[in-house]
Amino acid sequence: MRDKKYSEAIDLTARSRFPASMELITTTESLATLCRSLAAESFITVDTEFMRESTYWPDLCLIQVAGETLTGLIDPMAPGIDLQPFFDLMNDANVLKVFHAARQDIEIMVHRAGIVPHPVFDTQIAAMVCGFGDQVGYEAIVRRLAKEQIDKSSRFTDWSRRPLTDKQLIYALADVTHLRVVYEGLKKELDKTGREHWLREEMDILTNPATYRTEPEDAWKRIKVRLRSKKQLGVLVQVAAWREREARDKNVPRSRVLKDDALAEVAVQSPQTREALNQLRALPKGIATSRIGDAILKAVKDGLDMDPKSLPQPDDGRDDMSEATQAAAEVLKLALKVVCEKEGIAPKLVASSSDIEAIAESDTADVHMMHGWRRELFGNLALAIKRGEAVIGFQRGRVRVIPSNAPAQAAAE
């Protein structure tokens, strides 16, 4: 009965007021036909709509694709549809896949099909390389490059409900049609500035399968808590890893298993008995005598038994940098801002605060900023500033980073 109602709703939508070039894909056969046509394109634009409020893994609700003239909306929730033709297209090395903020879209494909689309062009990262600012929003890029205004009212609608409304489908289609113009504009800018190899390095990271491997033992890193000892850190590592596995296996949000503040309190208090567990204020009442309580106590024991040598020094929230290191970090942050303004690139893409602080403390720190194009643009200059070989000064009326032996008159101009 559900399939009949679903088909009637889809048929009605398919006959609605959309351009003839758009297809609403609900069968494997029509999907395969669309993907064969798109495989002949030099590039395609891709976007997805998904829901993850009540699940660990995102529920894929809609896929939008567009070639030079052909567009398609693919319904992954349609009964009996096999998405393999789409995944084959994503895996086709001859077709460039253009996304905006691709990370979550790719994560879905890794989970659903075990593939990482390649090659890829991420317009959000490209915009940062081209000086549009840190993590610039899609609407802002569309306004600037496509001269279009996006109706954002459908962004947070329930994409899992069927039938989808005309308004939802028009919004979804616009994402990939505008993205064609955005890609072409950014590509021209990259060609003009000669920074395409910068973006290529970022895309190599984005399309590396290792980027999407998540280990439960690393889940503790997203928890904000002040810890005073390695024992507490060991407990946090084990309890967070247990929660990650529990949420993943049951496909529920992490917070439904145990909230972050409860996780943090368990780490700090390290309860070893049901009575002690029952005293924790952040835990739900009665949890101490449940299966979950037993699992928490086991994770606490495993954490306390960890070899302290295998753990990093816990972050207790205090700033242990010396005054000299703090001063160096402030100078380098200012230098980063000056360089990025001159070069027209988002500072956040070049270096994080932790990168800057690490280099301020040690010239040999192995951070992102000291590799590839980032080192060419700023890393080597940061070391020169630390050595006194470059300074921040005025040159032709503008703040610049200049060689310390530059003529005084030139620096003052």
Partnered with residue 56 across adjacent β-strands are none
For residues 62 and 168, state if they share a domain: yes
Which of 196-202's residues contact partners 24+ apart within 8 Å by CB, and which partners?
Answer: 197/373, 198/129, 198/372, 198/373, 199/121, 199/125, 199/126, 199/129, 201/372, 201/373, 202/122, 202/125, 202/129
Where do we find the tokens 């100078």?
331
Q: Which of 212, 247, 275 is the last residue of a domain?
A: 212
For residues 18 and 134, state if they share a domain: yes
Give me the amino acid identity at 248.
R
Q: Which of 167, 183, 212 is the last residue of a domain?
A: 212
What pLDDT shows up at residue 314? 77
CATH number where 235 lies? 1.10.150.80
- Whether residue 315 lies inside any domain: the answer is no
Tokens of 147: 């001269």
- Whether residue 316 lies inside any domain: the answer is no
For residues 204 and 98, state if they share a domain: yes
Q: Which residues of 280-316 are buried (b: 16+ CB within 10 A; e: fewer)?
A: beebeeebbeeebbebbbebbebbeebeeeebeebee
Range of the domain at 306: 216-310
CATH number where 15 lies? 3.30.420.10
CATH number where 369 lies? 1.10.150
For residues 134 and 276, state if they share a domain: no
For residues 116 and 199, state if they share a domain: yes
- Whether residue 186 lies inside any domain: the answer is yes
* Contact residues for 395 (Cβ-Cβ < 8 A; gap 6+): 402, 406, 410, 411, 413
What pLDDT shows up at residue 243? 98
For residues 25 and 108, state if they share a domain: yes
What pLDDT shows up at residue 161? 93
Q: Which of 286, 310, 334 is the last residue of a domain?
A: 310
For residues 137 and 257, state if they share a domain: no
- Whether residue 404 lies inside any domain: the answer is yes
pLDDT 10s digits, 189-215? 999 999 999 999 999 999 999 999 989
What pLDDT shows up at residue 151? 77
For residues 64 and 204, state if they share a domain: yes
Cα–Cα distance for residue pair 302/305, rounded to 1 Å = 5
Task: Tell me what percent of the residues of the chain surpass a pLDDT of 90.
Answer: 72
For residues 145 and 240, state if they share a domain: no
What pLDDT shows up at residue 383? 95
pTM for the model stands at: 0.84
Cis, bond preceding 407 (omega within 30 deg of 0): no
Is the sign of the CA dihedral 43, 47, 48, 52 positive or negative?
Answer: positive
pLDDT 10s digits, 112-151? 999 999 999 999 999 999 988 776 788 889 998 988 888 7
The list of the chain residues with pLDDT below 50 reads: 1-18, 20-22, 408-413
For residues 253 and 360, state if they share a domain: no
For residues 182 and 258, state if they share a domain: no
For residues 135 and 168, state if they share a domain: yes
- Whether residue 318 lies inside any domain: the answer is no
- Whether residue 106 lies inside any domain: the answer is yes
> How many folded domains does the chain comprise?
3
- Whether residue 317 lies inside any domain: the answer is no
